């Protein structure tokens, strides 16, 4: 029998002993328990206890009441902020998300019964290292199998977010099998996700996009109709055209890859950005820019170094690496991306101009040489000079650029 105590921080064990001393039970649950069973060190710790929030606040005055309505307080320990939630049982659902009744101070067995999936319905005693697994979650985790605790249809009707959590776990835990009852229930309940708060949907997608098997999670959403219920689009073929397993880079790259899968102007127009992918304004701007300059129409034109530089000039310097990361995972463009990357490295080594700031003169130089240009014309001249230098890198010399600027100015 596995003893999990070696991976549990001493400070957390001391905290558990303090609760035990005052007559309360406490267990490691949720993702932390799942990680320990998978022989991974948890990044965050979640505990379940028989102590009520009031009792917790009295015993540990530094506790932060982060979710009293759900019986949750956060206790600062050496291993970080630990979320501690009172054993509870819910019943009824008024909107497929919020329960009509919540009862605290039950047993750990009752608490585990109300959880979503079997591998989330395990608990570890931090003091003895004993695993409680009444729903065979460890076996399902070993088989990399997703199965609900009890009736899947009832679980999803109680809380529609569980369907998106299923897709997230398929991605995060790299599951190879989904119990047929889960898939059937999701197909029946798919429209219920439209009643969920958008911020909760976004959070599940954020976690899905950082999983070990993003493709599997997305394809399950497609198979069950959950994706169509959210976006009214289909992504099956496009998802298969991306090597998700080798995807590198930031959340911007991941969102841009998903936008390429959607490939629908109604959803990928910058002004109609998918709400469930709108993590914040910065991610929206950067991911949409990556998507825009990764269309097949643009990429087909990149048949020489000058055109690559013209394309990259529409990106900020810190997005160039992400742009290459994105092309490298697209099966239809990977080979070309290797060539483009070599062109880019060559341009960098030769200190060739890619952006207007790289030119050997500025707008002030144009003004100082009395070309009598309107401010808008100055930007046109600079862009024209950049286009010339993209093709002829050796022309990026001040005297040559001034001469060419005069020719452009004379054409106005």
pLDDT along the chain (412 residues), means of 10: 85 95 96 94 94 93 88 91 88 53 75 95 96 97 96 95 97 94 98 95 96 96 96 90 92 96 74 90 96 95 97 96 97 97 97 97 85 83 96 96 90 80
Say how far apart CA 252 and CA 293 lie, in whole Å: 13
Say how far apart CA 261 and CA 271 lie, in whole Å: 18
pTM, full prediction: 0.88
- Which pLDDT does position 218 carry in this prediction? 97
Torsion over CA: 208, 210, 216, 222 (sign) = positive
362 CB-near residues (< 8 Å, 6+ apart): none
380 CB-near residues (< 8 Å, 6+ apart): 408
Say how far apart CA 274 and CA 284 lie, in whole Å: 9
Q: How many angstroms separate the Cα of 78 from the Cα of each of 33, 53, 81, 254, 358?
A: 19, 21, 8, 33, 49
Say how far apart CA 102 and CA 110 lie, in whole Å: 12
Say how far apart CA 308 and CA 6 lie, in whole Å: 53
Say how far apart CA 408 and CA 243 lie, in whole Å: 45
Long-range contacts of 187-191 (CB under 8 A, 24+ apart): 187/224, 187/225, 188/153, 189/153, 189/156, 189/157, 189/160, 189/163, 190/163, 190/224, 190/225, 190/226, 190/228, 190/229, 191/229
């Amino acid at each position: 029998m596995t003893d999990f105590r070696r991976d549990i921080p001493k400070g957390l064990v001391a905290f558990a002993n303090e609760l035990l001393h005052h007559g309360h039970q406490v267990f490691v649950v949720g993702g932390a328990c799942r990680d320990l069973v998978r022989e991974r060190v948890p990044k965050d710790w979640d505990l379940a206890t028989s102590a009520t929030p009031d009792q917790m606040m009295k015993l540990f005055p530094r506790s932060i009441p982060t979710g009293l309505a759900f019986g949750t307080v956060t206790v600062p320990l050496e291993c970080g902020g630990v979320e501690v939630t009172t054993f509870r049982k819910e019943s009824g659902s008024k909107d497929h998300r919020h329960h009509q009744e919540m009862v605290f101070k039950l047993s750990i067995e009752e608490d585990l019964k109300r959880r979503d999936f079997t591998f989330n319905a395990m608990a570890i005693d931090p003091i003895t290292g004993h695993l409680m697994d009444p729903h065979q979650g460890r076996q399902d985790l070993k088989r990399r199998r997703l199965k609900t605790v009890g009736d899947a249809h009832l679980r999803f009707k109680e809380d529609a977010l569980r369907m998106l959590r299923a897709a997230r776990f398929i991605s995060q835990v790299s599951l190879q099998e989904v119990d047929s009852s889960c898939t059937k229930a999701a197909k029946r309940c798919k429209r219920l996700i439209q009643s969920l708060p958008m911020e909760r949907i976004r959070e599940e997608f954020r976690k899905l996009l950082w999983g070990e098997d993003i493709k599997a999670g997305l394809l399950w959403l497609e198979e069950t109709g959950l994706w169509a219920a959210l976006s009214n689009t289909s992504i099956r073929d496009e998802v298969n055209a991306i090597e998700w397993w080798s995807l590198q880079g930031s959340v911007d790259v991941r969102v841009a890859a998903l936008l390429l899968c959607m490939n629908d102007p109604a959803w990928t127009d910058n002004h109609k950005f998918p709400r469930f992918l709108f993590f914040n304004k910065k991610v929206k701007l950067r991911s949409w820019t990556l998507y825009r300059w990764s269309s097949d129409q643009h990429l087909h034109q990149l048949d020489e170094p000058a055109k690559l530089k013209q394309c990259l000039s529409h990106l900020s310097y810190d997005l160039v690496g992400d742009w290459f990361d994105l092309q490298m995972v697209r099966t239809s463009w990977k080979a070309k991306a290797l060539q483009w990357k070599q062109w880019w490295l060559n341009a960098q080594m030769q200190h060739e101009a890619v952006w207007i700031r790289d030119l050997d003169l500025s707008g002030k130089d144009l003004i100082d040489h009395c070309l009598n240009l309107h401010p808008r014309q100055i930007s046109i001249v600079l862009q024209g000079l950049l286009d010339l230098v993209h093709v002829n890198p050796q022309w990026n010399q001040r005297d040559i650029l001034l001469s060419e600027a005069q020719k452009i100015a004379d054409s106005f």
